[in-house]
Structure 1
Amino acid sequence: MTVRPLRAASHRGSGSLPSPWGHVARVAAALAAGMGVGRFVYTPILPLMQARAGLSAGAGADLATANYAGYLVGAVAGILCPALVRSPAVLRVCLTALAGSLAAMPATHSTAMWTVLRLSAGVASALIFVIAVSSLLGHLREYPAHLPGWGFGGVGAGIALSGLLVLAVRSVADWRAAWYAAAALAALLGAASWNLRPEAPAPAAVHPGGDPAGAARMRTHRWFTALFVSYTLEGVGYIVAGTFLVSAIEQSTPGRVGSGAWVLVGLAAVPSSALWAWLGRRRSRPGLLLAALVVQAVGIALPALTTSAAAALVCAALFGGTFIGISTLALAIGSHLRFPRSVALLTAGYSVGQILGPLAVAPLLRHGYHQALMLAAAVVLAAAAAAAVLRIGFPQQVTPARPTPAVRAGDPAR
């Protein structure tokens, strides 16, 4: 497909991109490091730590919650201090800190230290995500929708690579080697994204006699509210599967089906974001968000309804094919509504949901993972209901008020 040239007006003074695909590759590498490895490598390592490091199911949930709490801290920092999201130095510090936190996990058997390390990894992951996604949506706003979609696919690539890595390591070494290998992979991906250009500051317009931008926000806030509720509930539901899927499958299915299913989650996620973004150019994004949430709920419920290996693989394909796509659609809708700092706000709501998810299912884990997965599927269906509300009267075109000539501001709000 031929890529359309970027219109000069869309740069807002940030300069041209010599290679949009190069920018996509750097974003994908950053998301693979920060999310695919930094956050989600814990999922296939968790069964190893439970079997060989004495980690209980409850303690495993607590470590997951610590990581998600750190993610919330990082997302809120991006809201309160927008300069962080535009800083190459912050990105590099976070990439370095993330790899270091992974390498430090096998150096201790202290649950308290593991909690601190997963908390710090969460902070770094959130800032990497917000910086990378803001850069992706900001620099490539006028390119075809599939192009940013491939950037989001970096999360799936990171999941697949880290899953394959753990699958290979577990046959010859223990959980410590898995963490060391994950740290090395995160470092390599961080190096590939080292020169990523964060989003440039936007010019702020001066509007004599009123605040048309504020009026535009008031016109779209009700749709953003429904989107925020839906995406927050998605955070609650998806993270239960994202944390315990491998353990749930391995509990009822012998062999390495659980680890193999997690690799399939990553492989399905790689093209899914580009596919959902492409569909978003031809169908209503709120309608697609609703459909993706329903499909994901079915995928999460499958391992709780049947213990067959085939069902586990179908679950992995449905989950992997939707969870990054849902993020792509939700963030694109927020950008379409032109709501200020929509990426950081939605990420913060998502983070709150991810903290609540493990806490909500923790009392159910003593009976296994099936009840937890069913509850997660129900919450995702509630997110789908909120997405259905989002569809009512959704503005397919949002026309901002015509500004007067813009002037530079020290700290513009997006």
Structure 2
Amino acid sequence: MSATILRRSPDRSDRSDGPPGSPWLHVAQAATALAVGMGVGRFVYTPILPLMHAQAGLSAGGGAHLATANYVGYLVGALVGILRPALVRSPKILRGSLTVLTGTLAAMPFTHSTAVWIALRLTAGAASALIFVIAVSSLLSHLRDHPAHLPGWAFGGVGAGIALSGLLVLALRSVADWQAAWWGSAGLAVVFTALSWNLRVELPHTEATDPGVVTPPRPVRTHRWFNALFAGYTLEGVGYIVAGTFLVAAIDQASPGWIGSGAWVLVGLAAVPSSALWAWLGRRWSRPDLLFAALVIQAAGIALPALVGGVAAALISAFLFGVTFLGISTIALATGAHLRFPRSVALLTAGYSVGQIVGPLAVTPLLHHGYHQALILASAVVLAAALTAVVLRIGFPHHIPDDTTDGPRTRPAS
């Protein structure tokens, strides 16, 4: 994903496919795009996975391969956004991606072929990435002069999509099968697609011609901090996605019934206000400190159901995971933008995507013994990411002149 220093122009800033409105309208449309692209398109697979294991004959290894295919597709979509930045300003690409993603959800029940499922999840991943890149680029460019909590609430659309799709699967699992769960998620995607169809994606007039390049007022070398951030965010991609893929299955294994799907709904509900919350905390604490705290909290949440059984541990784990995974992304993207590293958001997204590919592959050998070892390994990787935040805070340049971000605008305490 890429963004730029934007200069608002009265005659072009409101150019869109729909009528201009309040910033909250833009927030709502971006939130619904993120809800379908990420909350449903990517994460509905998590609560459906146990149903596919039980009813569709999908093996544990096959489940990991489907997850990996989705993350490979996401990386492809992210790279397209890097190599063809004009695409992130195209309403046609947004609408095409929304349509393709919804179609892949609806097509999943029509086959029992793992190879076809892999192809569908690969395609869904690419569409999800393009939706994310386009929606976030639009959101952050049009709202850059508004309070930081506004983009934060829009990012909460991911959590809303997770919660609503999780509730849908929870309701269907007692009266229908895995096929109905996929069709139901496709129907939910249709609703979100309609609500986000007219999202303004053309960027306001800019003085820069390349929306992937951030031009500082004077040279500021921030490579060493960006390298630490990049390493940590890539490790976060490895660790978080193991929990994001297998948390429900792990809880179902220890506590059969509604607990797994219920915990996933709690993940979504906790994620809705999380980005706005971390943006608010960013007014009082520095970004490296916030990143460290969020990563440590997430590591504890991922490890909890593997170390402590029972419903309470499962629900606490879900809450800690939900309240941190979007927050970590918003903090990391904001930090990269603050450092004024060229194409910081796109590069961080690509590293994150690579981590998501590695994660399921790394834990596949452990799945023969259940999910607990996989969660412990994921927790350890997230703790390693927290250590990079310690490195990041050493000499961190809190004040860079004319700080305009291409990510969520959280500012450290002065």
Q: How far apart are residue 336 of structure 1 and its match? A: 1.6
- Provide the identity percentage: 73
Q: Give yes or no for the alignment of 1:31 onto 2:34.
A: yes
Residue in structure 2 matched with residue 407 of structure 1 by the alignment? none
Report deviation, 1:341: 2.3
- 2:184 aligned with 1:186, yes or no? no
Counterparts of 1:273-352 in structure 2 under 5 Å?
273-352=275-354
Residue 14 of structure 1 and its aligned partner are, at CA, apart by 4.5
Change over 3 Å in CA distance of 1:212–1:300 after alignment to 2: closer
- Cα shift at 1:343: 2.1
Normalising by structure 2, what TM-score? 0.91
Partner of 1:18: 21
Q: 1:214 to 1:283 in 2, by over 3 A?
A: closer
Show the counterpart of 1:232.
234
Gaps of 5+ in 1: 1-7, 402-414
Task: Tell me which of 208, 211, 223 is aligned to 1:204.
Answer: 208
Against the structure 1 CA distance between its residues 83 and 307, is the aligned structure 2 distance closer, same or farther, given a 3 Å change threshold?
same
CA deviation vs aligned residue, 1:374-411 (integer Å, no higher than 9, x gap): 0000000011111111111111222269xxxxxxxxxx
Instruction: Confirm or deny: 8 A CA contact 2:36 2:189 kept in the other structure.
Output: yes
The 2-side partners of 1:289 and 1:351 are apart by 19
Please list every run of at least 4 consecutive aligned residues from structure 1 whose deviation after the TM superposition is greater than 6 angstroms. none
1:80 maps to which residue?
83
1:363-382 to 2 correspondence within 5 Å? 363-382=365-384
Question: Following TM superposition, by how much is the alpha carbon of 1:342 offset from its aligned partner in structure 2, in angstroms?
Answer: 2.1
Query: Displacement of 1:168 after TM fit?
Result: 0.6
Compute the displacement of 1:199 (Å).
Answer: 5.0
Would you say how many aligned residue pairs link Structure 1 and Structure 2?
A: 390
| TM superposition shift of 1:220 | 1.7
Could you tell me how far 1:338 is from its partner in structure 2?
2.3
1:358 aligned residue: 360
2:43 maps to which of 29, 37, 40: 40
**Cα separation, 2, equivalents of 1:120 and 1:203:** 35
1:151 aligns to what?
A: 154
Q: What one-letter code is carried by the residue in structure 1 that aligns with 2:185?
A: A
Give 2:163's aligned residue. Answer: 160
Q: Distance in 2 between matches of 1:12 and 1:47?
A: 52
Deviations 1:317-346 (A, max 9, x none): 000000011111111112222222222211
AA at the equivalent of 1:383: A
What is aligned with 2:93? 90
Aligned partner of 2:63 in structure 1 is 60
Q: Identify if the C-alpha distance between structure 1 residues 10 and 369 changes in structure 2 by more than 3 Å, giving closer, same or farther.
A: same
Q: Residues 205, 236 of structure 1: CA spacing in aligned structure 2 closer, same or farther, 3 A cutoff?
A: closer
User: Where does residue 103 of structure 1 map in the other structure?
Assistant: 106
2: CA distance between counterparts of 1:351 and 1:68? 6
Judged with a 3 Å threshold, the aligned counterparts in structure 2 of structure 1 residues 205 and 187 are, in CA distance, closer, same or farther, namely closer
Gap change, CA 1:138 and 1:50, over 3 Å in 2:
same
The aligned counterpart of 2:52 is 49
Instruction: State the SS of the aligned residue for 2:165.
Output: helix
- The one-letter code matched in structure 2 to 1:116 is A
Matched, 1:120 2:126: no
Contact map agreement 2:78 2:129 (CA 8 A) in 1: yes
Q: What amino acid does structure 1 have at the position aligned with 2:145?
A: E
Query: Which residue identity does 2:13 align to in structure 1?
Result: G
CA distance in 2: counterparts of 1:148 and 1:11, whole angstroms: 21
Distance across 1 between alignment mates of 2:218 and 2:234: 24
Q: 1:256 Cα deviation (Å)?
A: 1.1
Contact 1:12 1:202 in 2 (8 A): no
Given the alignment, which residue of 240, 253, 266 partners 1:251? 253
Alpha-carbon contact 2:214-2:340 (below 8 Å) kept = no
The two structures have a TM-score, normalised by structure 1, of 0.91
Deviates more, 1:115-124 or 1:383-392: 383-392
Contact 1:264 1:320 in 2 (8 A): yes
Separation of aligned partners in 1, 2:299 and 2:200: 36
